[in-house]
Amino acid sequence: MHNRLWIAGILAATPILALSPAAFPASNDAGCVTSIAGARYNQRLFTSLMRRKDQKAERTLKVYNVDRVKSREVKPVTDPVACERGAIAYGRVLQHDDPDRKVHILRVGDRYIVTDPDFIPDDYHRAVTFDSTFTRALAVVAE
């Protein structure tokens, strides 16, 4: 009886151990963070900016250098290739090279707004807007 319980315990724990961080450690490559508290806020902010027609919304879109698009065109990016390119480009623009930087990327139409949730050298939130190639910064925002 004792052996059966022991075997059942091992069989029950196998999927948990196989899918644990010990089996699949976090990557040390540049890319996107899986989830952060501000990511959902940023998506809601830009979704609401697309619906609003007031001066403050227009000013904010102009500062971030994004065009007004349909609300459904405001999406978080999870593609690993785009995440890596965005993280490297973000570091290059702010001159803070970090080979394993993790960022959050929000796609707004054909533009990409890249933020680093861990980058806090001062009290400002930093974001960089890129085109789809991540070669040219279209806007650097510190607010």
Tell me whether residue 9 is in a domain.
no
Answer for the pair 90, 114: CB distance below 8 angstroms, yes or no: yes
- For residues 45 and 27, which has the higher predicted lDDT (pLDDT)? 45
pLDDT digits (tens, 9 = 90+) for 56-114: 999 999 999 999 999 899 999 888 999 889 989 998 998 877 778 888 899 999 999 99
Q: How many CB atoms lie within 10 A of CB 109?
A: 14
Range of the domain at 138: 27-142
Domain presence at residue 20? no
**Domain count across the chain:** 1
- Give a yes or no: residue 5 inside a domain: no
With 0.85 as the threshold, say if the pTM is over it. Answer: no
Residue 1 resides in a domain: no
User: Is there a domain that residue 15 lies in?
Assistant: no
Domain-embedded: residue 93 = yes
Domain contains 48? yes
Burial degree of 29 (CB within 10 A; 0-12, 13-18, 19+): middle
- Asked, for residue 59, whether it belongs to a domain, the answer is yes
